[in-house]
Chains A and B, each alone.
Chain A
């Protein structure tokens, strides 16, 4: 049955380049320059898919992004496959494989087609009214609903393609490379503006470029010829950057726009290797000109959805651009003059046009007269009342309209056809304008919404603004662009345009039929199968707002986002409710204009570039020594260093024993470090920490606790006084950036009078922390001249010392409770000093330990970890750290909040220690603590925040927050788990070395 419908005229496909493709398993041919749709049509294939709800056979309807029906699954394998691709947009490439969606077993015989017969039971919103009994069955109903919904299939393998982002800046962005956009580009360029011109198709020129009419003339030339010269001119213009195959996706506030360029989708799969598939342009434009054109409207009548029923402009484009006849027996059904251009194209190409049906009484324009002169039968004041043909239209039935246009009269006339070209007028593409926040105005003359008010520097021209005739398009575009750009004269000022002028207009949103509406199927949204009846049902049921109607009937919610359906839906609502369409308003146009691939939005930020991680200068050493890593903020921190098949538990036990018994070394480089200088630095610390800083001497270190203004613990760390007006603050690893921001905020906005400067130096220094009874010996081996005696270098003090040329800041501070030295060096010496410590410590079995062992060691000493033992609801008092709140200071951040009625409660949750009755039982962090697990609801008293098995104490230890914990010391409580209940006793938070003797080695 496959015929070649290609005609021999001056079309835009390259017949020297034959391409093969496969549709539903059948091998077919087309040419370079074809879209998949034109190639299918040239093979006489209209039926390409089934509709969403009723599974009705559907064919190619349009030639652009408004296509509701011809959406196919495209791609060669599970990784490359792509659902819901519009055949009208995708350029044909050699080897393309595509399949129909939403049908089983095949598009020609689809079991789901039974829904068409059940359609009386499936009106708009039927699912809200049923599937409720029995209640437990909803899951089963839903399983089938979900299975039958959806269109194509998601890929099931990882996408092999690359995507890219680029920023573009321009004076003038022009969206749409049709005639008005091209002229605007030229005018702007002549005024020396940097112009960026985007065109979503492969070629510039819009619909005028393939217009073969003898009526429209520009400067006495055929308009397409005139346009071709302009395009050559523009391509050579250095002020104009042109991006083709680039469609504008979204227009955001402040003239920020997103556009997607297709770079490889038109190439055969083999030619795509290592090329970027799509690029997302993030555009900042000083001014924006929207020249996106208009979309033809269908007409709404009974059975207006059969394969072979197409937009008249599409039929014309398939002939004039692709050289493809959509049918051999054509009928046109219109309400306006533009379809007569299709009539002329059909005639010129020698394609049979059986009749034109026009709902108007007459039209006397030049173009209609030309058609009349050809002897083509025109049925004035008639409408189509029905069509026949299940998988392809074969007949239309026509009747005369009554005077009011709300009923049909007279005899039925049957006309044979295999293609019905319909036109219901034109809708300006105002999507981008409204996306940008622009307000529309309804034009009652043309029944269109046109751009009205905007806050942004933008202009709509051409048919996107509502000008449809060539002379209006050109002359208004010139006039408006000049005004927009503040230009006096342009080279187009004397342009001479001739075109046919439409005089008679008539519009009927829902055409009458000889049957009652309830017995007809006049489709509005082809993809979602919503009909005029559904709209009326929604209105009857009280859904008044247009947004309600849309949501209840799902009109305009398909992959075409209602580009064809919305105006008719509005029109029918307005007619039914006797409202002016302008008062009704439109539904919101949401970005993107056409669906945008996730990969394109994400660009290169996938895989290893998803989120770059930070590593310390010693990172490579950790890797070489088999460290396992933990994510802490953006950092990768060594977590533990398993040896010879050790489990994590084994490794941590070994590491912590070594640190307690001889020596351990920790990479502490990730701790936040803030350099604080200025004559008010001391006062500043007094204000940001809870404790007092006035008496801290130079060369001494102090632990500080920082609160939020709500009184809750925010961060902690040790700060060292390096000089009279010079301090080095350390923060938690994860909190570093936030602390820095917070301190800057206070300094700049609350206390600008303070002479303090903050510099983040986290990345500038590397820190190796050596601890354990042998730490002093190791440090002594490295820094031979450094006096390490307790008198000269006591706990919580600091020395600056040189190792060769390397400046080292050595701090004697401890987070493990052991004698401990932190060596800070410039980051580039980090690995050197680390290895130096390892070498010096060899004889003392120096053992590198990771964050897990660090956590265990500090827990033995009852030191908190902000973020683990606190959760934004703990005050210092709750942590039993009352000692750190200065009683003398008048104020510090968060102080006032500590005296609110809730924060002074005695029965708040407080930090305690927990010991399990079975010393080998390790509690789960996060487990809840109760007194009585049988009383329901269970009264939860608190939870375990930190829990470890201590190899030094040979028992399990835990920290917890517990309601009234301070009072409960020694009490027996329960930790209920899923499978058992663990008995615990509340203890002190310090488990080891209460006397703090280890700190001296």
Chain B
């Protein structure tokens, strides 16, 4: 049993100068064989392992990670968590995740700092208004706490937004989900890693997958930089690199991996106390507990694995930020970075079995996977353990691209007469 984290354990350890804290997770060498191996030590992969051990009693399992855990999109995103999605399938998936988020710090005994400061989505043209109202009505009937705000209510909830009706794309209203918010991204990976490790899951870092060994149409194991690992079940949660792993197994996925950028400002005292998203002018902003403004930019149009996007995307994003928040003009960008997001044609993820027995994929989260981390892990674990999807991820099967039963979350195409 690991040290339990609490204010009391902090005080106790202060007396021993913090020299008796145990490792948050071990650093094992891979065993020869596991019951299941998760490829990818990001939030989703670690959560999958955690729930496989916790809910499905699969403890002879490993997570293999090419670099360091949480180093991909988990540690690079703008940490927005919400569940106000349009379609029933998406709402079910994301709200399942949101409900887990609400008790996650206690469940993991690790403070993931889930902060329900609300997420507001702004409308800037009449079609935005229609689309957001449609979403709000759907959310309400799906039991999701989304409400429509008129412009003056938007201003009241976040006073620093420029709601003047004279600007280029004036704010015509917005939706608010109060249960939505942000969390501390690193803590999610670390919390799940610690929890999984405690139940016996081997977390193997610096272990890159080089090949997938198949026997006919079933998997036999993984070739890695730390040797061959035998297993009958492989769950791939490799985000931007999903296609690379799929290609090793001779599969093609409906994905394109593109650069997505984000940036933070220098830290300042609290100035914005919620998360505000605007699709039409493309500006997302929140403020971290450290005081930095956290700003999400858009994706580039091309495939790239460089974790670098083009600068004009950042420029466009900040243009939009200053349009909505002119007071930020003298704020300074402290860091800018990129991640690799794997995007599905319908902007919805894949949590699915494949045509190869024992090979499962959890991918295609595009620009918004962080918010789903706990739910995604839980449902993927269910899918791997039972070789069948849970009803909440049944719609997110890979076969939908053949049947045409897509879950289109692009929202309505912004086209009107």
The complex places the Cα of A559 from the Cα of B115 at a distance, in Å, of 24
Is the CB–CB distance between A551 and B21 below 8 Å? Answer: no
- Residue B335 contacts which of A128, A545, A548, A561 (CB distance < 8 angstroms)? A561
Which segment, of A18-26, A154-162, A482-490, faces chain B?
A: A154-162
* Contacting residues of chain B (9-63) with chain A, CB-CB under 8 angstroms: 9-11, 14, 17-19, 21-27
Q: Does B270 contact A (CB under 8 A)?
A: yes
The complex places the Cα of A142 from the Cα of B289 at a distance, in Å, of 7
Is the CB–CB distance between A927 and B137 below 8 Å? Answer: yes
Is the CB–CB distance between A940 and B138 below 8 Å? Answer: yes
* Contacting residues of chain A (602-654) with chain B, CB-CB under 8 angstroms: 602, 605-606, 608, 610-611, 613, 630-633
Q: Mark A703-737, 1 if CB is under 8 A from B, else 0.
A: 00000001100010000000000000000111100
Is the CB–CB distance between B127 and A149 below 8 Å? Answer: no
* Contacting residues of chain A (718-774) with chain B, CB-CB under 8 angstroms: 732-735, 738
Which segment, of B104-112, B240-248, B373-381, faces chain A?
A: B104-112
Q: Mark B179-198, 1 if CB is under 8 A from A, else 0.
A: 00000101100110000000
Which segment, of B150-158, B317-325, B353-361, B363-371, faces chain A?
A: B317-325
Instruction: Please give, as numbers and ranges, the residues of chain B lying within 8 Å of A551 by CB-CB distance.
Output: 75, 186
Q: Does A438 contact B (CB under 8 A)?
A: no
Is the CB–CB distance between A598 and B415 below 8 Å? Answer: no
Instruction: Please give, as numbers and ranges, the residues of chain A lying within 8 Å of B68 by CB-CB distance.
Output: 544-545, 547-548
Which of A139, A252, A601 has the largest number of chain B CB atoms within 10 A?
A601
Q: Does A132 contact B (CB under 8 A)?
A: yes
Is the CB–CB distance between A150 and B290 below 8 Å? Answer: yes
The complex places the Cα of A800 from the Cα of B341 at a distance, in Å, of 53
Nearest A-chain residue to B21, judged by Cβ: A541
Is the CB–CB distance between A902 and B405 below 8 Å? Answer: yes
- Residue A132 contacts which of B6, B25, B138, B160 (CB distance < 8 angstroms)? B6
Is the CB–CB distance between B106 and A132 below 8 Å? Answer: yes
- Residue A598 contacts which of B131, B329, B411 (CB distance < 8 angstroms)? B329
Q: Mark B264-293, 1 if CB is under 8 A from A, else 0.
A: 011111110000000000000001011100
Q: Does B251 contact A (CB under 8 A)?
A: no
Is the CB–CB distance between A150 and B270 below 8 Å? Answer: yes
Contacts known (A252-B308, A901-B404); A597 close to B332, Cβ less than 8 A? yes
- Residue B415 contacts which of A152, A542, A735 (CB distance < 8 angstroms)? A735
* Contacting residues of chain B (374-417) with chain A, CB-CB under 8 angstroms: 400, 402-406, 408, 410-417
Nearest A-chain residue to B310, judged by Cβ: A252
Which of A149, A159, A250 has the largest number of chain B CB atoms within 10 A?
A149
The complex places the Cα of A156 from the Cα of B266 at a distance, in Å, of 16
- Residue A542 contacts which of B26, B106, B406 (CB distance < 8 angstroms)? B26
* Contacting residues of chain B (120-149) with chain A, CB-CB under 8 angstroms: 124-127, 129-138, 140-143
Count of chain A residues with a beta carbon within 8 Å of a chain B beta carbon: 123
- A863 CB to nearest B CB, Å: 10
Nearest A-chain residue to B124, judged by Cβ: A631
Nearest B-chain residue to A559, judged by Cβ: B266
Instruction: Please give, as numbers and ranges, the residues of chain A lying within 8 Å of B141 by CB-CB distance.
Output: 928, 930, 933, 937-938, 940, 976
* Contacting residues of chain A (353-404) with chain B, CB-CB under 8 angstroms: none
Instruction: Please give, as numbers and ranges, the residues of chain A lying within 8 Å of B133 by CB-CB distance.
Output: 924-927
Instruction: Please give, as numbers and ranges, the residues of chain B lying within 8 Å of A903 by CB-CB distance.
Output: 404
Q: Mark A916-932, 1 if CB is under 8 A from B, else 0.
A: 00000000111110100
Is the CB–CB distance between A732 and B416 below 8 Å? Answer: yes
Nearest B-chain residue to A127, judged by Cβ: B111
Is the CB–CB distance between B336 and A592 below 8 Å? Answer: yes
- A97 CB to nearest B CB, Å: 15
Instruction: Please give, as numbers and ranges, the residues of chain B lying within 8 Å of A978 by CB-CB distance.
Output: 140
The complex places the Cα of A901 from the Cα of B140 at a distance, in Å, of 31
The complex places the Cα of A543 from the Cα of B19 at a distance, in Å, of 15
Q: Mark A409-421, 1 if CB is under 8 A from B, else 0.
A: 0000000000000
- On A, residues with C-beta under 8 Å from B are 75, 80-84, 120-121, 123, 126-133, 135, 138-139, 142, 145-147, 149-159, 161, 250, 252-253, 256, 258, 282, 437, 516, 518-519, 533, 537, 540-545, 547-548, 551-552, 559, 561, 588, 590-592, 595-599, 601-602, 605-606, 608, 610-611, 613, 630-633, 671, 710-711, 715, 732-735, 738, 815, 851, 854-855, 865-868, 870-873, 897, 900-903, 924-928, 930, 933, 936-938, 940, 943, 945, 976-978
Q: 12 A-B residue contacts at CB 8 Å?
A: A130-B10, A131-B111, A147-B269, A150-B267, A548-B70, A595-B265, A595-B266, A867-B415, A867-B416, A871-B413, A902-B403, A943-B137
